[in-house]
Amino acid sequence: MPRKKSSVISEFFQTKLDFGLEETLIMPQSVSSHSFKPSQYQQAIFDAVCSGTRAIVISAAPGSGKTTTIKELVPYLPLDASVLMLAFNKDAAEQLKKKIGALQKERKIPVVDCKTIHSLGATTLIRYGLGSNPTDHYRKYSKLAEAYLKGVGIHDRDLTQALADFIEKVRITCPNQSEQSLWTVCHRFDFFDMLYQDNKIWKVVLEAVPLIIQEGIRLARDTKAINFTDQICLPVEMDLRPPQYDYVLVDEAQDLSPIQQTLVLRAWNGKGTFIAVGDRHQSIYGFAGASLRSIDEIIDRTQAQEMPLSICYRCPQMVIDLAADIYPGIEASETAGAGTIREILNTDVIDRAQPGDLILCRYTAPLVSMCYELLRNGKKAMVRGRDLGKPVAGVISSIRTFCKQRRVQMTIDNLAESADFYKAEQTEILSGDVTEEAEIARLHDKIDTLLCLYRAYRSECYERSIDGFKEFIRDFFKDDKKAQSNQITLSTGHRAKGLEYPRVFILQWDKLQEPRAKTNEELEQELNIRYVMVTRVLWDKGNPDSGTLFLCRSEDDE
């Protein structure tokens, strides 16, 4: 059959036609919407899918319209194809579902399932009769860890929770459970106490991890006790087959963990195209379990063709130039304004920041300090990301363990002094090994954040206790959905993915790269976080203040 310009037929169509199944096919009535004009990069992607390319990795620059690209790709797919779109979180999945729904009202397109990866895992478990409400079993592995430790004569609440958290990271990131692999997970995710308390604890951990994981699988199979992590891990661990789709499109592919990669790829039946959308230069979630080389691993596993989506429709030209100095390849839209980049002192932010602005920083402690300064100056401000409080509150448990080992009782009154001693000892233990430098930096940020909040807690609260301080920490960090336009939003660079603001301040720009970063992976992550923060700036031709980036430096650099 000749290939007509007005109707591009994919290999999926052609294969069916060759077998005499023409009568079952329903061709799309139209390919693109009236208002959408694809860029050269978008059109190349559409053509590649239609020509039957087996797997594609779309390297999407920040603000390059990847959601629009995914949506506008759908009309190019066969009407009788099964299509799965996977978003990184529930909000993104709902937005995608709405856009696909609007598209369905305009023309005939294939049926599209929009899910999160958790939802795909849950659907898989339900197919095998393992459906369960994960909130009913959120403490499943904490209970298993507690039972195991008590069985070997260890009664330690902090170690119990640490072991449960450690097992979660192992399942998400570690294909095998060799001692070397577990040791790597311990270092990567800052489980210092289990490594350095004493050899006995580490031996217990090595024995406990595989046994607890197997017991978790047994409980799921026999009693349907399933938590949120189980939804992703169990389908792979139990070798269950997820629902099958001809076309699978996964967003934010740079942030997939190894087990997420496996689950997603198992949902693809190989008949159509597997499409991963992401940007290796925005890979900054290694601390949360994402594979640091997810994009390259997907290419290796699928032999995917990598295609660029390079035009940024968000940022002004000056910001694009700065971003291109970090990673070449990003391009400004033809309609982008010039924008503004200003260098100011960190201390000038208090006067210059106004409602609707975004303040970013590499670390949490400076954000907490800046937030309190803004509040003291009568400006509404909030630190974005409720989960930021968890590691800060968690370090209190590590300090308590540290004190117990020295037969000292930790109290709210000696917490600051104990934190300083803990910080010094852990730094000494970790120093001397270049692979530990990133861990030292994260440790220092957690302790510095803790001490900043501790000073605020002591000045604001008359009745003080450790439990009261933990609650104070939880309340300080706000849920992302509570960000409002009438206040100043503060965020770490890691929490800034997906954000765009007309005016953006980056604190400590002159000290943005962590000086302790030494390995190639650590240096790459530092460049990635810089790239992500710079590209949060939104240019809007209707807003004269938009497109402004403030690079804030320390006073001692004058």
- Same domain? For 514 and 463 the reply is no
Q: Is the pLDDT of residue 4 over 60?
A: no
- Same domain? For 379 and 486 the reply is yes
Where residue 521 falls among pLDDT bands split at 50, 70, 90? Answer: confident
Return d(Cα 249, Cα 92) in angstroms, integer.
14
Q: What is the dihedral of CA 43, 44, 50, 56, to 10 degrees?
A: -130
Mean pLDDT of 391-411: 89
- Same domain? For 358 and 395 the reply is no
Q: What is the CATH number of the domain that holds 344?
A: 3.40.50.300
Return d(Cα 535, Cα 316) in angstroms, integer.
9
- Same domain? For 281 and 426 the reply is no
The answer to whether residues 425 and 505 touch, using CB atoms and an 8 Å cutoff, is no
Domain boundary among 469, 489, 521: 469
In a domain, residue 31? The reply is no
pTM score of the predicted model = 0.83
- Same domain? For 330 and 380 the reply is yes
The answer to whether residues 176 and 131 touch, using CB atoms and an 8 Å cutoff, is no
Q: Tokens 């369960």, residue? A: 132
Q: Tokens 């990847």, residue? A: 66
- Same domain? For 375 and 486 the reply is yes
Q: Is the pLDDT of residue 459 over 80?
A: yes
pLDDT of the residue at 518: 64
Number of domains in the chain: 4
pLDDT of the residue at 529: 94
Provide the residue range defining the domain that includes 264: 40-129+240-309
The answer to whether residues 121 and 86 touch, using CB atoms and an 8 Å cutoff, is no
Return d(Cα 126, Cα 112) in angstroms, integer.
20
Q: Is the pLDDT of residue 264 over 80?
A: yes
In a domain, residue 283? The reply is yes
Backbone angles phi, psi at 166, to 5 degrees: -65, -45
- Per-residue pLDDT tens digits for 212-229: 999 999 999 999 999 999
pLDDT of the residue at 483: 61
- Per-residue pLDDT tens digits for 77-122: 999 999 999 998 999 999 999 999 999 998 899 999 999 999 999 9
In a domain, residue 33? The reply is no
Return d(Cα 496, Cα 491) in angstroms, integer.
6
In a domain, residue 57? The reply is yes
In a domain, residue 334? The reply is yes
- Same domain? For 221 and 332 the reply is no
- Same domain? For 254 and 112 the reply is yes
Domain boundary among 160, 195, 225: 225
- Per-residue pLDDT tens digits for 425-438: 888 888 866 556 77
The answer to whether residues 316 and 547 touch, using CB atoms and an 8 Å cutoff, is yes
Q: Is the pLDDT of residue 257 over 90?
A: yes
The answer to whether residues 66 and 251 touch, using CB atoms and an 8 Å cutoff, is yes
Q: Tell me the pLDDT of the chain averaged across its residues.
A: 88
